[in-house]
Chains A and B, each alone.
Chain A
Amino acid sequence: DTGVTQSPTHLIKTRGQQVTLRCSPISGHKSVSWYQQVLGQGPQFIFQYYEKEERGRGNFPDRFSARQFPNYSSELNVNALLLGDSALYLCASSSRGDALEPQYFGPGTRLLVL
């Protein structure tokens, strides 16, 4: 079985630009969550989507947005990039999106903002 996939693997942007990150969940999984991991820290929750609806949102500014498509893949958009947005962005999937379920993570997208 294919795991969670993310694209691109690496990205370099400049301040003020916009970026779109993509994620495909494990086949059969309907929930996708996004996390930001700054160097040396644990991942921080950004969004969860289940069945194309936003189920949860972390403490991130409105510059961050996401959506989920009918095939359960997802995009994370970040507008007006700041230097502090440089991080590893991780996508995770689970079948029902319940608190008790383990989430399975993709390899991440490393974003560098110059």
Chain B
Amino acid sequence: AQKVTQAQTEISVVEKEDVTLDCVYETRDTTYYLFWYKQPPSGELVFLIRRNSFDEQNEISGRYSWNFQKSTSSFNFTITASQVVDSAVYFCALTGQTGANNLFFGTGTRLTVIP
């Protein structure tokens, strides 16, 4: 069974601080894919990044970076120099190698960046 755990329910930081959002996953699949999505107050989920289980290279995109560690089943997301526009709910999600591409989501972390 697939499971994603985001233990941090809510995080508040002051603008320009760095923040890391944790994600731990469980799966029996040998091939799987991990995703991060951002959900602003408007409700629409915005795709941020995808990582497959064979690629453990960390990735950086502007102020965003992701750390994938297969040994600890974690896929953490760091925002550097946070901005007010980063305030949103962030979801980590997982798909396996079955036919359907159903995403298994965590419960999300609500990030509030205080000006």
Contacts and interface: CB of A to CB of B under 8 A. Distances in A.
Nearest to B101: A99
Contact of B47 (A98, A102, A107, A110): A102
Interface string A55-76: 1101000000000000000000
Interface residues of A, number: 30
A31 interface: yes
Question: Main SS of chain B's interface residues?
Answer: loop
Interface in B55-107: 91, 93, 95-107
A56 B47 contact: no
Interface of B: 4, 32-33, 35, 37, 42-47, 50, 52, 91, 93, 95-108
Interface of A: 31, 33, 35, 40-45, 48, 55-56, 58, 88, 90, 92, 94, 97-108, 110
Given A42-B105, A90-B45, 12 more contacts: A42-B91, A42-B106, A43-B45, A43-B103, A55-B100, A55-B101, A56-B100, A98-B101, A99-B101, A103-B101, A103-B103, A105-B46
